[in-house]
Amino acid sequence: MAVGAMIEVENLTKWYGNTLALEEATFTVEEGQVVGFLGPNGAGKSTTLRILTGFLPATSGEARVNGHDVLLESLAVRSSIGYMPENVPLYPEMRVEEYLRFRAGLKDVPSAKRRAAVDRVVERCWLKEMRRRLIGQLSKGFRQRLGLAEALVADPPVLILDEPTLGLDPTQIEETRKLIRSLAHKHTVLLSSHILPQVEKACSHLVIIADGQIKAADSLDELKRRLAHRQQVVVELRTADTGDGPAEVGRALGQVAGAADVRVEEGGGGWLRATVTPAADADPREGLCAAVGRRGWQLREVHRLAPSIEELYARIVAGEADAGKAAA
Amino acid sequence: MGKVLLLTRREVSAYFMSPIAYVAMALFLVISGVFFALADFRPGAPAAMRSIFDIMMLILIFIIPIVTMRSLSEEQRSGTIETLLTAPVTDFQVVLAKFLGSWIFYLAMLAPTLVYVVLLAAFGNPEYGPVASGYVGLVLLGALYVSVGLLASSLTRNQVIAAVTGFVILIVLAMLGPWIATVVPSRVWIIGVRTLVQQATVRTHYLDFSQGVVDLVHVIYFVALTAYALFLTVKVLESRRWR
């Protein structure tokens, strides 16, 4: 497989009884990447993460983390992962510092270094004032930070975070995102979410999953680029001197090679706005400009509508998967 | 082994933070204290603890499942089982630590009953041999009961169900022998079954301890059955992998 691959998932399938939760999933996460694992609720995100952390076995297929097979070398895999499960389960009767020390011990941090390790993550996750607090008394935001601190305490090469920003307020989400961003390069991060904007800002790569199938897996830029070939082109023009109406404009632009569909509307002040949907893999912009020039119309603007990540996500999940499949 | 100790320490401190554990402890001490006062600590009675040792076999059937019920159930209910089992520890280490934690709490619960020995010594002249062997029996009995309670608690995320399951298994395990002896008619082939059931019953192996006898067979019975219950608990935890 690829050099420097930290997480390799190959044809992973998981059945819960008669329910198919994950179907032939394949993707790779390279060292140092921050990858967003994105999909609607119930798409198979948590299942995949649980298989990677060794909590559940897959029905078939293989997964490797840091070069170790999750089934055959489970302990080695677990040693290289910091895992924060969904909803951050914690022991309410323990104190923050006590819990972190306990977890550091479980994760083979030598006892002489435990204090330093705890100090480091307490600092990093802004838990300083909460060190002596009972976990049962922590607010949601602090619980989330403690979960993150726990995942980081043994300084593992791989971090797997299941919905790390679930239930946080916008300021906390922003802080968490910054923190995760700062972990890149030193750690490989796979974080799941069903909320798009968070992922867009925190991650460089995306794996999109829906109905148990990986729909796309690539860098954010590459995914945007692959979808760009179906980007609509907007042309604003004026026909005042020639007297052509909107219908004529639509007909003329529709004849341009590569234009599949044209919608024309009034843009105000005598300007017309034509939205051209291109045929697959075509870029009709030059043709459109030439056509406008030939008719003697005045051209004010030509631009492509860049797909937003929401649109991207919706299109991929909805199964417009030609872009996604090529990427995966 | 270091990790087992670490986990055990967490278990023990969780017990001492838990109100239910104190309630169970208080209940045990009150009930056993009453029975000690009525059965053993009477004028004219021999300065011994035979009756209270025998009665404790029954009291503990109801106390220990209350002590152990949260052990694995609560981890499953709150989801901490996921962080626990995805740490680099084996299922066996987790179960062993859970067992040791509960057993240590049980021993701490038992410790105040040593006051009875002091009382007997103050007012009479007790024979220390049977008292010591009685406590050996209680330590072993507790190990078995705790491991059964742990097994019950691994089966469900509901603490009440865990406790009741524990009661039922322990009642059957402790009392089936004497019951079957009275119910089953004595035909030759059945006698074999009867002996088998009687030999599998806690009562058969426990009562000798309070009479001052420490028989290796009895010790092996308790140790083996405890190990078996712990083995089953590990298997139940592993079953998440194929369920």
HEC letters along A236-255: EEECCCCCCCHHHHHHHHHC
pLDDT, greater one: A111 or A258: A111
Q: Say which of A75, A89, A93 has its CB closest to residue B88.
A: A75
Q: Do residues A82 and A108 touch, judged by C-beta distance below 8 A?
A: no
Look at B83 and A83 and tell me if their CB atoms are within 8 Å: yes
- Cα distances (angstroms) measured from residue B45 to each of A112, B31, B35, B42, B127: 58, 20, 14, 5, 13
Mutate to test the interface with A, among B85, B86, B89, B90 (most CBs of A within 10 A): B86
pLDDT digits (tens, 9 = 90+) for A271-319: 888 888 887 767 788 888 888 888 888 888 888 876 666 677 777 777 6
Q: Do residues A23 and A328 touch, judged by C-beta distance below 8 A?
A: no
Look at B3 and A83 and tell me if their CB atoms are within 8 Å: no
The chain B residue lying nearest A110, using CA atoms, is: B2
Whole-number pLDDT of residue A1: 43
Whole-number pLDDT of residue A260: 80
Q: How far is A81 from chain B (nearest CA, A)?
A: 9
Tokens 């867009």 correspond to A200
CATH 3.30.70.100 fits A232-304, yes or no: yes
Q: Specify which residues A13 forms β-bridges with.
A: A60
Multiple choice CATH, A5-227, 3.30.420.40, 3.30.565.10, 3.40.50.300, 3.90.1150.10:
3.40.50.300
pLDDT digits (tens, 9 = 90+) for B60-99: 999 999 999 999 999 999 999 999 999 999 999 999 999 9
User: What are the structural domain ranges in chain A?
Assistant: 5-227, 232-304
For A313, half-sphere exposure in the C-beta direction (CA atoms, 13 angstrom radius) is 20
The residue ranges of DSSP E strands in chain A, in sequence order, are 5-16, 19-30, 34-38, 60-65, 68-69, 81-84, 158-162, 188-193, 205-210, 213-219, 233-238, 259-268, 271-278, 298-304
Mutate to test the interface with A, among B5, B10, B91, B237 (most CBs of A within 10 A): B10
Give me the helix-helix angle, A220-228 and A309-317, nearest 10°. 70
Report the relative pairing of strands A233-238 and A298-304 from DSSP bridges.
antiparallel
pTM of this structure: 0.83
CA dihedral angle for residue B75, residue B81, residue B85, residue B90, rounded to 10 degrees: 20
Q: How far is A178 from chain B (nearest CA, A)?
A: 24
The chain B residue lying nearest A73, using CA atoms, is: B88
pLDDT, greater one: B4 or A316: B4
On chain A, the residues whose CB falls within 8 A of the CB of B80 are 89-91
Q: Give the angle subtended at the CA of A31 by the CAs of A175 and A143, to the nearest 5°.
A: 30
Average pLDDT over residues B176-202: 72
Look at B241 and A75 and tell me if their CB atoms are within 8 Å: no
Look at A55 and B80 and tell me if their CB atoms are within 8 Å: no
The chain A residue lying nearest B14, using CA atoms, is: A93
